Amino acid sequence: MTLLSIAGVSRNFGDVQALADVTLDIRQGEFFALLGPSGCGKTTLLRILAGFEFPDRGAVRLDGADLLAQAAHRRPVNLMFQSYALFPHMTVAKNVAYGLERERLPRAEIKTRVSEVLETVGLTALAGRRPAQLSGGQQQRVALARAIVKRPRLLLLDEPLSALDKKVRAEMQLELKRLQHEVGITFVVVTHDQEEAMSLADRIAVMDSGRVEQVDAPVALYERPRTRFVADFIGANNLFPGTVTGGGFEVPGLGPLPCKTDLPNGTAVLAVRPERIRLGDPGRGAADGTVADVSFYGGISHIAVDVAGHDRKVLVATQGPARITPGAQVGLTWNPDDAVLVPA
């Protein structure tokens, strides 16, 4: 069931077009991610949902009601800031209770709800501490508890894990996913971190230059990108520009490359993931090359191959330490089903 409907939303700042006819439907109970590089418009869209910006055109409806007609403080929407914005002079419990106190709820209800949410995020034992006495991950949990204690229909998260180190970030990704399922609130997260979006979200909207390039589940985005931008932005990829003809897909300098030609004749780009490419003897694959570099990443090796006629190194990923050295002559091959053609 659709909870949030965004239809034809556009926003300009002078000559800069921040959003261009953005249309999205976000489902009830979904963990949804807005993913893209800096300046793609994702934060502007988040601010429109929160009530801090207004679109030049378009409509936003929450449960069928016009969200844009409601003042920011009246919307059943809460925003968790990137900086957490905790009150340093208040305890954890007081920080979490602050929004409920502003609503003048009965003290007994405030105490019960704060106690419940602190138990949910695992901070009951730290209720009397102040933010300076907490780790980054614990502060993030306090900010999340303060956001969900008001029981919003929609929770917006702006780069929620960017201030954490890599190990804590990985732990909090699992924690956020667990909490979202437990509390049943629809989460919309803004991030430029592909790994964060792929690990957290049920669906992802990839944005570029104010436009939505593709909306899909993480696996579909990775395996079947529909535009060149998505193919290049989501994970590592090998891109081969060429032309679809009646006889297949031709790449200048390389000749025909194996793929399913499911696009009409004309220019296109072939995308092949590094883990889908196999190394073999020269003369027996789609292309031949020379190993330029081998890097080991603890379980996976990345092999960069120079291919004559191609201006970028071809990246190959293999499990475990690579049994090959720079300077080796190799052939590259892949299954046609593992290569994806996208419009140029």
Number of Cβ within 10 Å of residue 264's Cβ equals 8
Indicate the helix (H) or strand (E) that contains 126: none
Distance CA 66, CA 48 (A): 13
Domain 2-223, CATH number (from 3.30.70.2190, 1.10.3720.10, 3.30.2290.10, 3.40.50.300): 3.40.50.300
CATH 3.40.50.300 boundaries in the chain = 2-223
CATH 2.40.50.140 boundaries in the chain = 236-343
Q: Are strands 186-191 and 203-208 parallel, antiparallel or unpaired?
A: unpaired
User: 293 - beta bridge partners?
Assistant: 304
Distance CA 225, CA 240 (A): 14
Distance CA 344, CA 339 (A): 15
In what order do the strands lie in the sheet containing 57-62? 16-27, 2-13, 57-62, 65-66
CB 106 within 8 A of CB 50: no
Ordered per-residue pLDDT tens for the chain, 344 residues:
899 999 999 999 999 999 999 999 999 999 999 999 999 999 999 999 999 999 999 999 999 999 999 999 889 998 887 677 788 999 999 999 998 888 888 999 999 999 988 888 888 998 899 998 988 778 888 888 888 888 888 989 888 777 666 776 777 777 778 778 877 889 999 999 898 899 889 999 999 999 999 999 999 999 999 999 999 999 999 999 999 988 889 999 899 999 988 888 899 999 999 999 999 999 888 999 999 999 998 889 999 999 998 989 999 999 999 889 999 999 999 999 999 999 98
User: Does CATH number 2.60.40.1730 belong to domain 236-343?
Assistant: no
Indicate the helix (H) or strand (E) that contains 329: strand 329-333
Distance CA 19, CA 61 (A): 17
